[in-house]
Structure 1
Amino acid sequence: MKNLKWWLTGLVTAIVATGAIVGVMIFLLFSSVLNGGKDCDSSDNPSLEVSTGVSGSYTDKNSAEYKNGKAIFEFLTKEMGFSGAGAAGAIGNAIGESGLKLHNPNPGGGVNGLFQWSGWSNTINGSRITSEGSIKAGDESTLTLENELKLVKYELTHGYSKVKHLVGKATDVQTATKNWFLYYEGMVGNEDQFGNLRETGAQWAYKEFGGSAITANDNILNNSIETTDASQRAQNDADYAQCGNGNDIEVSGEWCWPFASVPKEGPKLVGEQNYGKSDSRTNGYHDGVDFGDALYSGDVRAIHSGKIVKIMKPNDSGLGFYLIWEITDDGYGIAYQEFASDMSDISVKEGDIVNAGDKLGVSRKGDIGINDTHLHLGITKEKNLQKALSKVFVDDGTWLDPVQVIKKGMDNSADK
């Protein structure tokens, strides 16, 4: 259900034709519309992905943006011990997020800064921007290059230390860029939002700042202060809190998670994987949840007993992916979609009766945790598939929060 990227393609053409000033106005208007009136968590990284080539003020050596990019590169390679590839990957993401601008707020998402940290004008997506202490929410005078680099260092040596090693030791620019996107930007399960600007920007930085001549400095990387700061980890989790509906409906029968590796208490979902408010989708709404293959892959299981009524292929009714549609005896429609690369990944056929836990197919993990075939799971009380699909971007109660529905079903079964 990720048709927004096709919408953006048309928007890009309009922006280029009418000039950069109009483009900025459109983007700001677009952001405010998507975020208006919603109160559920979503990605804290709304991207400025409006180009597919190396362009913009950051390529001008006299611009503030160019100087910011160079400062990030030198900070990561010299102070943090990053390889040239790793530093370039981080810069590519900053280009995609903010255009390398220190102050580039998104009022709806409450984010700001080089990497669009949450907590600037509101805490709807958490409060990462104030976690180090130097930057004060809403105080532009504290949003300096020095303070933003302090924040990057604080996060890389605290709750995001995984990123420091994974990206810092990278020898491939593409891998570094995607891993920063996944684990620093928190976009696991939303790989389709990666776009082109991050990677082209990273390749530009790699060449511009001589990245090929710089290897990771293990002494600096390994000696950097690291901690499993409990309060920081708790804040990281809070930044991606779930919300949505599903508690006000009756559920019956046996339920289970779509992957055996999901613990009883539920999956770890971050940012735009969650149901509800979405900064990237049409009308700011996500009709289900995404199980990113970086955490969840392998056999996809039926979450409830029912009948496989329809299996849709790419281009059926305008879809761009495979979809399994299950109808249950107690009135649910369940959509398992986007996990299959082709029909060989699907183990059932139309007309099959399945029980909770039965294998429906397999989701294959990508080589570096990047794969367009993550599982999107949707649950609705609308049994007519076409009617349900017509409401995928409409927050009117047609689609329910799958996490809440499954949890309630599992709790009810345990009580019996």
Structure 2
Amino acid sequence: MMKAHLLAIISMIVSVVLSLFVLCMVILMMFGMDNGCDSETDTSQFNGVGGSGGIWTQKGTPAYKNAKDTFDFWVAKGMSGAQVAGIVGNIGGAEDTGFVLDQKELSGGSGGGLYQFTPYSKYLNDAKSDKSWSVQNQGEVVLHLEPDTIAAYFRKTKNSSPEDCATDWMNMYERPSAKAREQTNGARRAAARTAYQLFGGSNISGKDSLLGEAASTAGAGEAADQQNNSCDTSGGDTASGKWGWPFKTIPKDGPTRYENGQQYGHTGMIRGGGNDFHDGYDFGSAIVGAGQPILAVHDGKVFKVANDVGWWYVWVKSSDGYNEVYQEAFNGRGDIAVNEGDEIKVGDKIGTLSGSHLHLGITKKAITSSVQSGYSDDGTWLDPIKIIKEGINN
């Protein structure tokens, strides 16, 4: 009797265990089906960047909401689904944000936020910033900081795929090093395709009229630059036609030597664009002298002093159509002696050579479009040595 009673108890326990096991399997299958069918998008090829906000490709996570809000922000500005996917793909595919709104750069750099404002305080200190780190406000600050870049991206990518949009946003806005481009371009492109599918990008067309101030003002400025070849300044005629060398140590006939890769044109040294074209001339400190004053090579008006491309630069516009860019020479703002709006003459001090070299670039086209031709021998960037020599002799 006791034996039968014991068997009944064991049978009941086994039955309960089996029932619990089946119940657990059903629950797991339900969650598994929900994760697999929650979206029409197959994200198996790109799992998304994870962070404290979760995976941005997974619905229900804070990261997903921020990614979707970012997508919607740029759609509201008039961009197509592919163009917006290119932006979201850069944030989700290669940056360290994980769509955490105020995430500082995990690699130890100085950037932060969705768009990796560099330095982190750049967002906080901008006139358009409400310091909330919200998706909306970060987007507005980007538009305020770089309207020309946004407008140029909008025009260039109107008929591009999400993947190509991602590459163009990387090159035009993110502007990483050549090594970082090679390492992250694939992830950015894959993430852009995922965002395009996840958020219905194929159903969204771009609308020129909605891009607003960035497209209208930047586009008009570039058109004026290209058609009129004149400065957008109120300072009158500031070009005397004279030219000079950027360092007193350079003889009248020009540099007598340079290190390989510093010269203008095809140098035999492969660069970030995948070829050997160098769009300017590098005046190396080992040749011209470290700590030397950098002098204006042409009359003009200082249009911009900034470090939004990863290094400090001075952009001068001359009323005869030339743009002169002094870059890669300054370790900090304190090494630059001029301010935006300053009228300068040949020989005036631009700053001090604190870096390894001065890269001097000269073009007669708008800078906003010229940056896209940085590695292209298409006539956009001119030979500084030839122009200065001819200017001095004439």
Superposition TM-score, scaled by structure 1 size: 0.43
Q: Which has the larger radius of gyration?
A: 2
Larger relative CO (CA 8 A, sep 6+): 1 or 2? 1
TM-score w.r.t. the length of structure 2 is: 0.45
